[in-house]
Structure 1
Amino acid sequence: MRTEGRGAPDADAPWNEIVPGLWMGGHHYRDATGARAAAVPDARFDLVLSLYERAGHGPDPGVEHHCTVIPDDPLTPAQIQVVLDMAERAAHAVRGGRQVLVRCHSGYNRSGLVVAHALTLLGHDAADAIFLVRYRRSRWALNNRTFEEYLTAGLDVAHLLTGLEEQPPAAT
């Protein structure tokens, strides 16, 4: 469910705080020695939202965890609805003072889409949200141009437009 070939290197950290209480990460990263390491969320997080799943990558028992796998490709209306729901859950938890980690495979695109939309729900405009995700996580974040376009248009609008694409043509 991951698009290969965008040339993004593994992140230098398992996760990064984008704004207070809202973290973004992946399932692996490069440690200080340059070796690939598993990113396993621990009890520092109250809520972990995963858009990719891999056995042995946590989170720790007792951490609230919601996982819905979506592709790092153009999304269906149902998949965009998952993103909308996850972003709302993240924003609500951050407003409540909880520590939230949103993660995907590498911690760049799917998690970036959810985190950026959560930032819009927390009062940022789309351009600022995209900037914050890239500045705080990695310049490689949101390298999926379709996801950036969803955010720029508005995820609610993207949800409606992708739904129109699935409608059969009207009979004449």
Structure 2
Amino acid sequence: MSIDPSRIEIAFDPRRQRMAGISAHGLMSFDVPFISEITDNLWLGGCEDGLVLPEFIGHLVSLYPWEQYTVKHDLDSRLEVRMYDQTNQAMDQVDAIASWVNTCRRGAPTLVHCQAGLNRSSLVAARALVLEGMSADEAITLIREKRSPACLCNPAFERWLREPPA
């Protein structure tokens, strides 16, 4: 492969690059950056093949393995879990993933992503906040304020957060 001698350095920033669409649940329109900061060291977002992961992200938690960030720096950790944005998605792994997110957040900025950063990643991020002491209502409100009102539009995900099984 040859290299373009006229190539220039271009910075791509997923905090500014946007994605827009209509949610599968509730048919809510959204227009959001690829990643959004929710709180200290907790980032939430979506993904598109080839999008370059910002260098400040230390931990990457992917709930959408069908598309991946291009990572050009050493990560402290990378976790990939296949989840679906369906009302019958099993929730048995959510607490373990959310606990891992909290462990990672103590050391470095952590990005939890799915396809659009609306349901799967919001579920895990909200549960991480709940495990750290926030109420489900507070966590859901924070994520919707910081990311999009379309977050957690999957009614099963929101219901599970508000009333997790004993």
TM-score range, shorter chain: 0.7 to 0.9
In structure 1, list runs of 5 or more residues that go unmatched.
29-36, 161-172
1:139 maps to 2:146: no
Per-residue CA distance 1:36-57 (angstroms, 9 max, x = gap) = x964323211101011023453
Instruction: Name the Cα RMSD after superposition.
Output: 2.2
What CA distance in whole angstroms lies between the structure 2 residues aligned with 1:93 and 1:57?
A: 18
Superposed displacement of residue 62, structure 1: 1.9
Partners of 2:30 and 2:148 within 8 A in 1: no
Choose which of 34, 54, 65 in structure 2 pairs with 1:53: 65
What CA distance in whole angstroms lies between the structure 2 residues aligned with 1:10 and 1:60?
A: 29
Match of 1:26 in 2: 46
Cα–Cα, structure 1 residues 132 and 61, in superposed 2: closer, same or farther, change >3 Å? same
Question: What TM-score do you get using the length of structure 2 for normalisation?
Answer: 0.76
Match of 2:110 in 1: 100
The AA in structure 1 aligned to 2:99 is E
Partners of 2:58 and 2:108 within 8 A in 1: yes
Query: 1:80 is paired with a residue of what secondary structure?
Result: coil
Cα–Cα, structure 1 residues 7 and 123, in superposed 2: closer, same or farther, change >3 Å? same
What CA distance in whole angstroms lies between the structure 1 residues aligned with 2:160 and 2:68?
A: 32
In structure 2, list runs of 5 or more residues that go unmatched.
1-22
Superposed displacement of residue 93, structure 1: 1.7
What CA distance in whole angstroms lies between the structure 1 residues aligned with 2:118 and 2:135?
A: 19
In percent, how many aligned pairs have the same letter? 28
Superposed displacement of residue 7, structure 1: 2.9
Q: Map 1:1-172 to 2 at 5 A.
A: 4=24, 6-9=26-29, 11-28=31-48, 39-63=51-75, 64-75=77-88, 79-94=90-105, 96-154=106-164, 157=165
Q: How many pairs were matched up? A: 143
Higher helix share: 1
